[in-house]
């Protein structure tokens, strides 16, 4: 009993220290918005932080696709209230019809397709200034500390979530990101004996978490939310032995 009280006090103090360090946690009512609580343990105060930058590092096209899917999953929870999202890119391959799979309304995503990096940074900063957006997704391969600091200052005012998809970054320097993710695809999971390709599954590695422990998750997308895969179901049959009909 006494230990539990002690633990509670220490948790409280930790939270105070974090807020003094400038780490803003979402208000209690918004805490752990449904769908993202799966990842909460990896973050400080057990809550998925939304006011800041999440980076998604990708080293191949397949990882970019997986990251896009993972981002779509996060967006679907953020955009549940109908607020719009802005997707900024210089070489976009995102295919809007697929958004439905992530229970996402493609019509409320505004895509801004740009030519060069300078414009990309400018538009990203302007978008982050805009209040009332669910999130700003930006495909920025390279981001240095100074730029990320600028973004961070803007976000502190507007409280918008920034999700940066970084495909093949040249250098991975320090940034002000809350978390640095790496999403790689995992073999999909099907119930025993079923043919075909199942729901998307990923290995989500948290390479870096500000003030947090980090970790690695194996998740799959159930159609409406992130889920932990049921390991015992994984047993694929070779397709060429399956008979149709």
Partner 1 sequence: MVCAGASHGRMMVIAANKEANAQGIHNGMPLADARAIVHELEVFDEKPGRKEKLLEGLARWAIRYTPLSSTDPDGILLDITGCSHLWGGEEAYLKHITSRLQSSGYTIKAAIADTIGTSWALSRYGKGVEIVAPYQQHFALLPLSPAALRIPGEITEKLHKLGLNRIERFIQMPRSTLRRRFGENLLIKIAQAMGDEPEAFIPITIIQEFEERLACMEPIRTAKAIEIAIERLLGKLCLRLKKEGLGLRKAELKGYRIDGKTISTPIGTNRPSDDPIHLMKLFALNISGIAPGMGIELFTLSAEKTEKMERPQEKIWAGQAGLNSQPLAELLDRVAGKVGKNAIHRYLPRADYWPERAVKQAKDLSEDSGISFHNPLNRPIQLLPRPERIEVTAPIPDYPPMLFIYQGVRHSIKKADGPERLERAWWLEEGEHRDYYTVEDEKGNRYWLFRAGHYAAENSAWFIHGFFA
Q: Residues in the site for partner 1, rule: CB under 8 A?
A: 61-62, 64-66, 68-70, 72, 81-84, 86, 93-102, 106-115, 119, 122-123, 126-127, 129-133, 184-188, 190, 195-198, 200-202, 221, 236, 238-240
Q: Which residue number, 141 or 211, has a Cβ lying nearer to partner 1? A: 141
Cα–Cα distances (Å) from 116 to 4, 95, 122, 164, 188, in that order, read: 55, 21, 10, 16, 36
Q: Which residue number, 74 or 175, has a Cβ lying nearer to partner 1? A: 74
Evaluate whether 84 touches 135 at the Cβ level (below 8 Å): no
**How near is the Cβ of 211 to partner 1 at its closest, in Å?**
29
Per-residue tokens: 102:
């992530």
**How near is the Cβ of 131 to partner 1 at its closest, in Å?**
5
Q: Which residue number, 200 or 212, has a Cβ lying nearer to partner 1? A: 200
**Which of 219, 237, 235 is CA-nearest to residue 227?**
219
Q: Which residue number, 86 or 162, has a Cβ lying nearer to partner 1? A: 86
Q: Which residue number, 71 or 177, has a Cβ lying nearer to partner 1? A: 71
**How near is the Cβ of 167 to partner 1 at its closest, in Å?**
11
**How near is the Cβ of 134 to partner 1 at its closest, in Å?**
8
Quote the CA–CA distance of 107 and 232 in Å, as a whole number. Answer: 38
**Which of 140, 69, 82 is CA-nearest to residue 109?**
82
**Which of 88, 209, 59, 70 is CA-nearest to residue 160?**
88
Q: Which residue number, 171 or 239, has a Cβ lying nearer to partner 1? A: 239
Cα–Cα distances (Å) from 25 to 4, 46, 63, 83, 131, in that order, read: 23, 10, 29, 21, 18
Quote the CA–CA distance of 19 and 111 in Å, as a whole number. Answer: 34
Evaluate whether 233 touches 191 at the Cβ level (below 8 Å): yes
Cα–Cα distances (Å) from 62 to 144, 165, 205, 215, in that order, read: 25, 13, 15, 21
Per-residue tokens: 2:
């006494």
**How near is the Cβ of 239 to partner 1 at its closest, in Å?**
5
Cα–Cα distances (Å) from 223 to 37, 40, 159, 168, 184, in that order, read: 16, 20, 28, 29, 18
Q: Which residue number, 5 or 244, has a Cβ lying nearer to partner 1? A: 244
């Amino acid at each position: 009993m006494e230990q539990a009280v002690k633990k509670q006090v220490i948790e409280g103090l930790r939270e105070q220290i974090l807020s003094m360090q400038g780490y803003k946690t979402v208000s209690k009512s918004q805490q752990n918005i449904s769908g993202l609580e799966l990842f909460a343990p990896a973050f400080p105060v057990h809550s998925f932080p939304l006011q800041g930058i999440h980076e998604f590092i990708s080293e191949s096209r397949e990882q970019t696709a997986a990251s896009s899917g993972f981002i779509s999953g996060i967006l679907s929870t953020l955009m549940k209230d109908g607020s719009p999202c802005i997707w900024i890119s210089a070489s976009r391959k995102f295919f809007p019809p697929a958004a439905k799979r992530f229970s996402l309304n493609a019509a409320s995503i505004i895509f801004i397709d740009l030519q060069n990096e300078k414009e990309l940074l400018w538009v990203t900063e302007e978008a982050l200034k805009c209040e009332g957006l669910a999130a700003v997704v930006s495909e920025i391969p390279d981001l240095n500390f100074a730029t990320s600091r600028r973004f961070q200052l803007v976000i502190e005012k507007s409280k918008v979530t920034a999700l940066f998809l970084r495909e093949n970054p040249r250098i991975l320097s320090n940034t002000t990101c809350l978390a640095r993710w790496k999403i790689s695809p995992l073999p999909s999971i099907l119930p025993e004996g079923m043919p075909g390709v199942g729901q998307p599954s990923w290995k989500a590695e948290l390479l870096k978490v500000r003030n947090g422990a980090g970790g690695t998750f194996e998740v799959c997308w159930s159609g409406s939310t992130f889920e932990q895969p049921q390991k015992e179901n994984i047993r694929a049959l070779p397709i060429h032995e399956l008979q149709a009909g």
